[in-house]
Structure 1
Amino acid sequence: MSKTNDSVAIEEGEIVVPQYGPERDAITRRLLRKLDIRLVPYMALLYMFNALDRGNIGNARLGGLEEGTHLTGNDFYNALSFFYFGYCISQVPNMFLLKKVSPSVLIGVTMVLWGVCSTSMAACKSYSGLVAARFFMGIFEAGIGPGAPIILSFFYLRNELAWRTAMFYGSSTIAGAFGGAIAYGVAKNLAHEKLAPWQLLFIIEGIPTIALGLVTIFFLPNSPHKLEKWFVTPEEKQVAIERGRSGLNTDNTVLDKRQLIAAFKDYKNLFTCLIYIGLNIPLASYTSFLPTIVKNMGYSDAKAQLMTVPPYACALVTVLLFAWNSDRTQRRGYHVAGAASITCLGYILLISSGNLHANYAGACFVAMGLYPIVPLMLSWVANNNVGHTKRAISVALLNTFGQCFATVGTQIYKTKTAPRFFMGYGVCLAFSFLMIVVALSLSHVLRRENARRDAEFGEPKPLSPEEQAEAGSEWNLRRPPELPVLHLI
């Protein structure tokens, strides 16, 4: 290893590119354009199929799932819960696997496996078969949810991450819209002698997932160091590597125990887990029960499938808008609180009014508030936890706690409380308000911490990549120059 005059370490085989100036800016723009064309849309496509396979059980219910699998009583609600049981227990193990195998292999293989589980639900004839398929689908789907923002954080800086995460996660709203449209088309136009509409739905949405998983193994970029020659020039690859270092992605060990302990001790993760708990209870209930909620507003089964499309379309707009402004202002907590406020408005409309149009508007407001919070939270946690291990474990903790409590969301819309679902709406409203309180509290705590660090350590000091790597989980004491404040608030 050698050093240039500006103290940037150069590994053997790497090339020297300008650290500043128009040439550097031009290379960076070309690199980002290529990543934005290949990486972000492809990750969005993967997550769209993830969300489609996870949420299609709600549409399948209106297509005769309960009758076809002989579900009675609370069987449907329990089947929903088993997905989250599998999802929770595999979060942290998947993060360790991400350190041992390449992201493309992990995501590609797990995608094939959850696609098999999703497709196999078409063959279920009993409650036990449905539960087993949902449980294992939860285990395999846990790979992409936390893994994707980690991968994006390898390629994008903190002021670029929320927008890209939103582009990735916004595809879940597209999946919700497509799911409703596909279910409507199946119910209206694909009558089959031997297969019920719910069975056709699982097959039509499951098989493409398997095919896409196989493609992912070979197509998904793994890290800046492994960008292919056909995709980037040597100069662009070098800039990608240096950008990764500037984001302190310098941990090449399989497991940094120091960072592992730091992730569990970091108070920020307690706050963010509370926010994610408050998010996942209404979010899990919304994705699973929106067709049922809309049907109980007075629509027919087929029309209810179609009427689930507009709320997701509205949500896509707010996802992109909140993420864009969050990156522009470099503020996360205020945007989380603002989105949660929109959610509260939606549930207040659902609770207080018996008018069909007001209730439908409330359902749209709920989606518009809930969905932006996911990319905001994932980017917030990725921004404020540095080092591969600490970031991966922190994101895994966030998802584990959130999905554990998502099982509550699968149990609160009992049929006997239809059509108004007062208990379910009330629980979701309470947890939406919790998100507002905790997000604003965390922003206040981080602002005070930033001010204290500014007063104690002064202006940020330039650090070489070796110093960045040495700092590890204690990087905040050294204040790299790329991070003008310690935490994003």
Structure 2
Amino acid sequence: MTASDGHEKASSIALESGEGGEVAVPQHGPEREAIVRRLKLKLDLRLVPYLALLYLFNALDRGNIGNARLAGLEAGTHLVGNQFYNALSFFYFGYTISQIPNMFLLKKVTPSVLVGVTMVLWGVCSTSMAAAKSYSGLVAARFFMGVFEAGIGPAAPVILSFFYLRHELAWRTALFYGSSTFAGAFGGLIAYGVATNLAHEKLAPWQLLFIIEGIPTIALGILTVFFLPNAPETLERWFVTPEEKQVAIERSRTGYNTDTTALDKRQLLAALKDRKNIFSCLIYIGLNIPLASYTSFLPTIVKIMGYTDAKAQLMTVPPYACALVCVFAVCWSSDRHRSRGLHVACCAAVACLGYILLISSSNTKANYAGACFVAMGLYPIIPLMLSWVANNNVGHTKRAISIAMLNTFGQCFATVGTQIYKKPTAPRFFMGYGVCLAFTVVMVVVSIAFVYYLKRENARRDSVFGAPKELTPEEQLQALRGGVYDDHPSFRYFT
């Protein structure tokens, strides 16, 4: 159980070939390296893009209410006062209460079934918002959409951890979560196209927007049940060769995936008592408050800068495009240097710069640049944090619950982000920007403190136990059954 998991130790797993014999896979050397390269390429072309596509529609359905607002949602559903902001908050209420239950379901049913079924259900909720005629109908749809959307967000990093080693996770998670930034840009383009090119006698533009973005989600959910890989052991013969499948299983087991218990109560308690999760949750709380406000209110913020409704939809695209580039670049660097915390701190500092520009200047161009810096700083932190938590928790249940805790606390405080722009000082949101700036500073401070904590613990283990050693899958399983998890003397934390 070492942090330097680039060195793989193959276990003696025998798989049957198509002819009924056993497949011999070399444990090292150029031939094994070639098999690993082919396997990762196939996974990179199937698993990661497909998860990214699913999360693209997840983010589209979650964030399209901000675009729908500019297209007449409030008038169409007869919203008054703070009802729009309250409708935003109800999504996060539903999302929060279903985090940990969804992680339990991930262990009870296959990932493809959980993700596929919940995707169909949130697609139905998203589409049904087009039929909302009142505040209560909109709130109900948003609440249940939050309940079902929690099926994919926390599950995806766990699924990826079955197929990739620890130092390979951030880049793949970035490709997955990068689609949420692309969704922001894509959603703006769709909203602009609906507002300028589509007209319907009975359906308003905001209703068309919900329908156009909701129906494909339902179709993808049905496909997911049959197409999404569940684990290396279930990879199909048409997708990988017997040699590649064996290597996939071996890599998964060297990545601390040896436990097969559906739900380990000891791992659940270990996750709840783990002090590392306090640091992680504090960082994620600091992220979700500005992030929730940004995704929901960017169209409104851009409009207040002086753009028309249709132009405001279009002008939301560049900030997300800048963020997408940063997500890929930062997470590639994080994997390359095997560093998470310092990358989080640097990204949070960029977001701080953005909010300082938004607060300090009344110049439209400076404000727009600030909005771009905020997106460039916030969005890379999502895959960095999810990878960091997955890296530092051993055991399926402990890893899943830790990620669920991260999302639960983060989404609880995301409701704050939906309320802080109620009373703007046109064209400035001093209170909203100030609150977001404060929490981005919290991220900088806590992430640096967390790095120090983990480095000190790694140094302590080096001093007490000596250099870490590679553990066989059997030794890993024994450690899991003994309740040791990431406290094992040979485990070193990603910092």
**Hey, what's the Cα distance between the residues in 2 that align with 1:263 and 1:358?**
44
Equivalent pair of 2:13/2:246 in contact (CA under 8 Å): no
Query: What are the within-5 Å matches in structure 2 for residues 63-82 of structure 1?
Result: 63-82=71-90
**Hey, what's the Cα distance between the residues in 2 that align with 1:370 and 1:108?**
28
Deviations 1:43-98 (A, max 9, x none): 00000000000000000000000000000000000000000000000000000000
Tell me the residue number matched to 1:101. 109
**Hey, what's the Cα distance between the residues in 1 that align with 2:129 and 2:263?**
37
Amino acid at match of 1:488: F
Tell me the residue number matched to 2:370. 362
Equivalent pair of 1:273/1:397 in contact (CA under 8 Å): yes
Q: Are positions 1:277 and 2:285 aligned together?
A: yes
Classify the secondary structure of the residue corresponding to 1:413: coil
Equivalent pair of 1:10/1:16 in contact (CA under 8 Å): no
Classify the secondary structure of the residue corresponding to 1:382: helix
Tell me the residue number matched to 2:442. 434
Tell me the residue number matched to 1:199. 207
Tell me the residue number matched to 2:426. 418
Equivalent pair of 2:14/2:246 in contact (CA under 8 Å): no
Inter-CA distance 477–109: structure 2 relative to 1 (3 Å threshold): closer
Deviations 1:369-409 (A, max 9, x none): 00000000000000000110000000000000000000000
How far does residue 257 in structure 1 lie from its aligned partner after superposition? 1.5
Amino acid at match of 1:157: L
How far does residue 328 in structure 1 lie from its aligned partner after superposition? 0.4
Tell me the residue number matched to 2:3. none
Tell me the residue number matched to 1:113. 121
Tell me the residue number matched to 1:8. 11
**Hey, what's the Cα distance between the residues in 2 that align with 1:78 and 1:399?**
20
**Hey, what's the Cα distance between the residues in 1 that align with 2:359 and 2:488?**
51
Deviations 1:18-66 (A, max 9, x none): 1111111000000000000000000000000000000000000000000
Q: Are positions 1:43 and 2:46 aligned together?
A: no
**Hey, what's the Cα distance between the residues in 1 that align with 2:205 and 2:423?**
22
Tell me the residue number matched to 1:237. 245
Tell me the residue number matched to 1:474. 484
**Hey, what's the Cα distance between the residues in 2 that align with 1:227 and 1:88?**
32
- Gaps spanning 5+ residues in structure 2: where? 1-8, 17-21
**Hey, what's the Cα distance between the residues in 2 that align with 1:12 and 1:346?**
54
Classify the secondary structure of the residue corresponding to 1:417: coil
Classify the secondary structure of the residue corresponding to 2:230: coil
Tell me the residue number matched to 1:3. none
How far does residue 264 in structure 1 lie from its aligned partner after superposition? 0.8
How far does residue 309 in structure 1 lie from its aligned partner after superposition? 0.1
Equivalent pair of 1:461/1:478 in contact (CA under 8 Å): no
Inter-CA distance 7–65: structure 2 relative to 1 (3 Å threshold): closer
Inter-CA distance 315–416: structure 2 relative to 1 (3 Å threshold): closer
**Hey, what's the Cα distance between the residues in 1 that align with 2:144 and 2:426?**
30
How far does residue 470 in structure 1 lie from its aligned partner after superposition? 1.1
Classify the secondary structure of the residue corresponding to 2:103: helix
**Hey, what's the Cα distance between the residues in 2 that align with 1:427 and 1:398?**
21
Q: Which of 375, 392, 395 is the aligned partner of 2:400? A: 392
Normalization by structure 1: what TM-score? 0.96
Equivalent pair of 2:348/2:441 in contact (CA under 8 Å): yes
Classify the secondary structure of the residue corresponding to 2:62: helix
Tell me the residue number matched to 1:487. 493
Normalization by structure 2: what TM-score? 0.95
Root-mean-square deviation (CA), in Å? 1.2
Tell me the residue number matched to 2:220. 212
How far does residue 474 in structure 1 lie from its aligned partner after superposition? 1.5
Percent of residue pairs bearing the same amino acid type: 77
**Hey, what's the Cα distance between the residues in 1 that align with 2:414 and 2:75?**
25
Equivalent pair of 1:117/1:136 in contact (CA under 8 Å): yes
Q: Which of 173, 190, 215 is the aligned partner of 1:182? A: 190
Inter-CA distance 26–132: structure 2 relative to 1 (3 Å threshold): same
Q: Are positions 1:404 and 2:407 aligned together?
A: no
**Hey, what's the Cα distance between the residues in 2 that align with 1:416 and 1:122?**
28
Equivalent pair of 2:392/2:486 in contact (CA under 8 Å): no
Count residues in correspondence. Answer: 480
How far does residue 7 in structure 1 lie from its aligned partner after superposition? 8.5
**Hey, what's the Cα distance between the residues in 2 that align with 1:243 and 1:288?**
40
Amino acid at match of 2:253: R
How far does residue 463 in structure 1 lie from its aligned partner after superposition? 2.1
How far does residue 436 in structure 1 lie from its aligned partner after superposition? 0.3
- Gaps spanning 5+ residues in structure 1: where? 1-5
Deviations 1:220-244 (A, max 9, x none): 0000000000000000000000000
Q: Are positions 1:122 and 2:130 aligned together?
A: yes
How far does residue 418 in structure 1 lie from its aligned partner after superposition? 3.3
Classify the secondary structure of the residue corresponding to 1:424: helix
Equivalent pair of 1:460/1:478 in contact (CA under 8 Å): no
Tell me the residue number matched to 1:54. 62
